[in-house]
Amino acid sequence: MQQLLQSLKAGHMDILTLPNPIPGKGEVLVRTHYSAISAGTEGKTVSDARKGYVAKARARKEEVAKVIKTAQNIGVAETYKMVMNKLEALQPLGYSNAGTVVQVGPGVTNFKPGDRVACGGATASHAELVTVKENLTVHLPESAPLDEAAFTTIGAIAVQGLRRAELKLGENCAVIGLGLIGQITLKLLKAAGVRGFGIDLKPELVELALKSGAEGAALRQNELLESLVQEFSGGHGVDAVIITAGTSSLDPVELAGTLCRHHGKVVIVGNVPTGFSRKTYYRKELELLMSTSYGPGRYDANYEEKGRDYPIGQVRWTENRNMEAFARLLGTEGFSLADLISHRFHFAEAKSAFDLILDPAQSSMGVVLAYDTESPLRSPDFAEAKPIAAGQSISMMGAGSFAGNFLLPHLRELLQLDCILTSRPHTAEDARQKYGFAKATVDVQDLLSSPAPAVVIATRHDSHAALAMQALRAGKRVFLEKPLCLRMEEYVHMAGLLRSPDSPGLMLGFNRRFAPLVQALRGKLRGLPLAMHYRINAGGLPTDHWVHDPDIGGGRLIGEACHFVDLCTYLAGSPIVSVSAQAMHSRPQQHDTFSAQLRFANGSVAGISYFSNGGKSLPKEYLEVHGGGLSAVIDDFKTLRFFGAKAGKARGGKQDKGHAAEMRRFAEAVKAGKPFAISNEEALQATLATFALKASMEAGGILIKPSEYEAQWISATAN
């Protein structure tokens, strides 16, 4: 299939042929008939991408600050590579389309092949085929024209603005900003029996507003504007003002306060600043409200990704129900978007469509892309890819920022890259082009049938166990980014596979043990019973971050603390015999601020202090190790100091957490067919210890022996 993509580096835009997407759980596969271009949101994205680096930096000040901090930690050269990696990535455009259902994924019950639908969200892009979550897809009535239905998601933005204003039959409203959303807002006001008054800087948009359903309209620069609105509202001021403009000026929000009646509402839909003067808003006791995109559910992973709807008794209008309400209006008598569709382009001419909306000399309103739905979909041709030597190659699942910054730059220098798999076709193709994979796919079976003997898995945490087990059963050797799994039942299945005599072998991504400073420390203290203190100033994450989700990220204890358990175990050189842990009482469910204790068979002990509530300026990791009259301190993997009679010289340099050495050891094992540097048992031991730590935490800090915990869990589930 074909999809429109752009690179942020130079604003390059192209239509590429990609693998056909496959609907996952809760997803609908849709063949696009029409997609709508949002001149505001997409226009700004493309405009920013076409700017030079200085202009890009000015437009993204927060991201620049993060870049500076990263450069201080890992150096300018490595940071530059990371920034370029992001800027060069292929990005899809579009978020509103309409078409017909081709296939539904597991768990989808509301749609079937052949249904006419409208779709929204980031995956409802300008592409011949799209996979969209069920809560971002709605049925279309037979009377709804598909070209107009392509604007359903954009229409839902206007619908949510009206919901926030809580306007009633017979009331009145001013709309500031008469672009596409402003014009749709006026149509909706008329349909709801609310009198609308449109305001804009452009005469042609004011004229169009009168055709869209406004009972009054005027230019912003009209000296009589305030008098006209007063006359329109019977001398009281309007009941509400909806701002659909996009500008850096404070004028829209200041004007809204002037035009509103006492106790009126101002609803911000567009991208405008809110630093208004207090006087007018205070004296009129106005309500200033923000309208979030399509409505309740937007940006909520439980709603959008997991398909968990809000009960209608508690949340009457969700983003899906807003889209549905708008879709039902399409094709009804008196409601049409035909007059707002100013330009139509064939999908192959998409670049010309974007040139149009970015040209200030051109006038455009609703712009749609039309797709050829009769011809067979094209497939990518990898016939000219360079031959791959099976014993010297790997395939890879996942190509996110971690893989792109820390794994692939090393792997491409060490091994031949056969097949890259991601859940989205454009990210697979992006990685294929950037790193030189022979083939890109979204089909797991396609990857597992490749000749490469090993697979690197760097997907989200929730998919680790299932993908690793599929690869192991297919006879592939596996490098798996941590964690091994998220649940004990997955651990038990993994343990059975990994302890089997014919297991191909798995290396878990515990990179810290390969860091040069750790290697130097271990060389001095190896063989001694050790006392260790490991402090991690991890920093806080929003409560709705995917890492905290037990079904997706597993929480920070399971998802990240396994790193620190493994490093302490590696330094001790001995298996863990008991663990205990206590979480900070105010954050017990997140397990992101805790103290853990480990005891090892050789008498070594370790304390791991994981803090998410510390100061940002404090370095992230600090490790103290004591043994045999010698002490060592590793500070954020930048410096190593020894204290004692045989202290020696301090070592230091740029931060190195061992990723390069880890990939080198992995590649050596693949090429030589030798065991991995981290054994199956070591991967299982660290994983089991984190599950035991979680159980201890939930039980108030009791001492738990991991081996007994495993046996008890298996016994309990068997019964």
Return the structure tokens found at 56.
Answer: 């890009």
Q: What is the pLDDT of residue 78?
A: 66
In terms of Cα–Cα distance, which of 484, 478, 533 is closest to 503? 478
706-718 and 680-698 are packed helices; what angle lies between their axes, rounded to 10 degrees? 80
Q: What is the pLDDT of residue 434?
A: 93
445: Cβ contacts below 8 Å, ≥ 6 apart: none
Cβ-contact 156, 323 below 8 angstroms: yes
Q: Strand pairing partners for 621?
A: 536
Largest CA distance in the chain: 91
| Strands (DSSP E) found in 53-128 | 90-92, 96-104, 116-120
Terminal Cα distance for the chain, rounded = 50
Give the CATH superfamily of 524-653+681-718: Dihydrodipicolinate Reductase; domain 2 (3.30.360.10)
Q: What is the pLDDT of residues 156-175, one digit of tens each?
A: 999 999 999 999 999 999 99
Q: CA-CA distance, 64 to 680, in Å (whole number)?
A: 41
Q: What is the pLDDT of residue 190?
A: 96
Within 10 angstroms of residue 334's Cβ, the number of other Cβ atoms is: 9
Nearest 5°: CA angle at 103, between 102 and 104? Answer: 140
Q: CA-CA distance, 357 to 351, in Å (whole number)?
A: 10
Residue 672: exposure state from Cβ atoms within 10 A (0-12, 13-18, ≥19): exposed
Q: CA-CA distance, 301 to 640, in Å (whole number)?
A: 41
Q: Is the pLDDT of residue 138 over 80?
A: yes
**Fold classified for 390-508:** Rossmann fold (3.40.50)
Q: How many residues does the chain have?
A: 719
**Residue ranges of domains in the chain:** 2-151+303-370, 154-290, 390-508, 524-653+681-718
Q: What is the pLDDT of residues 563-612, one digit of tens each?
A: 999 999 999 999 999 999 999 876 555 678 999 999 999 999 999 999 99
562-572 and 516-525 are packed helices; what angle lies between their axes, rounded to 10 degrees? 30
Q: What is the pLDDT of residue 70?
A: 65
- Mean pLDDT to the nearest integer, 302-309: 92
Q: Strand pairing partners for 100?
A: 31, 116
Cβ-contact 302, 135 below 8 angstroms: no
Q: CA-CA distance, 656 to 607, in Å (whole number)?
A: 23
Q: What is the pLDDT of residues 112-125, one digit of tens each?
A: 999 999 999 999 99
Q: CA-CA distance, 602 to 609, in Å (whole number)?
A: 22
Q: Strand pairing partners for 419?
A: 439
Pick the CATH number of 2-151+303-370 from 3.40.50.720, 3.20.20.70, 3.40.640.10, 3.90.180.10: 3.90.180.10
Distance from the Cα of residue 187 to its chain's centroid: 34
Cβ-contact 30, 119 below 8 angstroms: yes
Same fold, 154-290 and 390-508: yes
Q: Is the pLDDT of residue 69 over 70?
A: no
Distances (CA, A) of 40 to 87, 161, 244, 271: 21, 16, 10, 9
- Mean pLDDT to the nearest integer, 457-465: 97
Whether this model's pTM surpasses 0.85: yes
Least confident of 54-63, 68-77, 568-577, 703-712: 54-63
**Fold classified for 154-290:** Rossmann fold (3.40.50)
Least confident of 343-347, 591-595, 630-634, 701-705: 591-595
Q: Strand pairing partners for 17?
A: 2
